[in-house]
Every structure is written in C-alpha cells, then in structure tokens.
A = this chain, B = another copy of it.
C-alpha cells in the first residue's frame, strides 16, 4: 500500500534523535521517553539497526546506542532497508522477480517508476530529514529511460 511501516518510522525517529547527541551512548529508555514510542518495540528496532551496522549498542550501565554513520552520508533508503528489507515497490523492481515477468507490458515502465521512488529515499539523507529540506541538495538531472 505504498507506506512505510511503523518500524521504519520509529527507526528514523530514533536515528534522528541520536544524530544530535552522537558523543555518548543513549539508552532505549531515554530515547523512548523523548519520542513517545512503545519502548519495547523501539528496543527491537534499535537492535535491528545495530545488526545492520547503522548504530552501535553498548550494554551495562551508561550503555545504549550511538550513531555510527554520518547523518550527511546516510541515505534514508539504507535505514528503511535495514528495518524492512529490500525496497520493492513492485515485485520485478530492483532485482526482484515476478511470475508475470514474461509478457508484462508495463514491466519496463514499472521498473523505472519503482526506481524513481527508490531514488527519492536513496538521495535523501538523515540530515536532510532533520533539516526538513531533503533532496534539496542533489536534485537529479533529467533522466530518460534507455529503451
């Protein structure tokens, strides 16, 4: 239904929160208190982000999570993929396969549209999300599909 999951959004909110204080580790409890998100679920999301290498977890007192990537260089698509898996607007898009692939008249066009959507996420960075002006920077050049 062309919609981000809660997990992805919680993850983005958490990453954005961490982007501010990257000096020390911040606990799930503190993040959750600030973002009004179910803490237990937020913990699960952060675990996944840690597995994906986007944040670093530290146990024990004074433990928590710390941002690893640089906000200016971290595409939102990366975060989404870590939390939701590969982004496939349509089955055939981005390396995926579809049973209708042979003989689907819109396949080519579909792939292109799906690619453009993925581009939006790949060209917006975490810092863009915070500056509330994502993709203002790169603005892709005019693109024509290779026929």
Interface set of A (CB-CB < 8 Å, partner B): 1-5, 9, 12-13, 16-17, 35-37, 76, 80, 84, 87-90, 100, 103-106, 108-110, 112-113, 116-117, 120-121, 124, 128-136, 139, 142-145, 147
Given contacts A4-B89, A13-B106, A120-B113, contact A36 B131 (CB under 8 A): no
| 18 further contact pairs, Cβ within 8 A, besides A2-B4, A117-B120 | A2-B2, A4-B89, A12-B106, A106-B129, A109-B128, A109-B130, A109-B132, A109-B134, A112-B132, A112-B135, A113-B120, A113-B135, A117-B117, A117-B121, A135-B143, A136-B142, A136-B144, A136-B145
Nearest B residue to A114 via CB reads B4
Closest 6 CB pairs of A and B: A108-B132, A109-B129, A133-B145, A139-B142, A109-B132, A136-B144
Minimal beta-carbon separation of A75 from chain B (angstroms): 11
19 examples of A-B residue contacts, CB within 8 angstroms: A1-B84, A2-B84, A2-B87, A2-B117, A3-B88, A3-B89, A4-B89, A4-B90, A16-B106, A17-B105, A106-B130, A108-B132, A113-B121, A113-B124, A113-B135, A116-B134, A117-B117, A133-B145, A139-B142
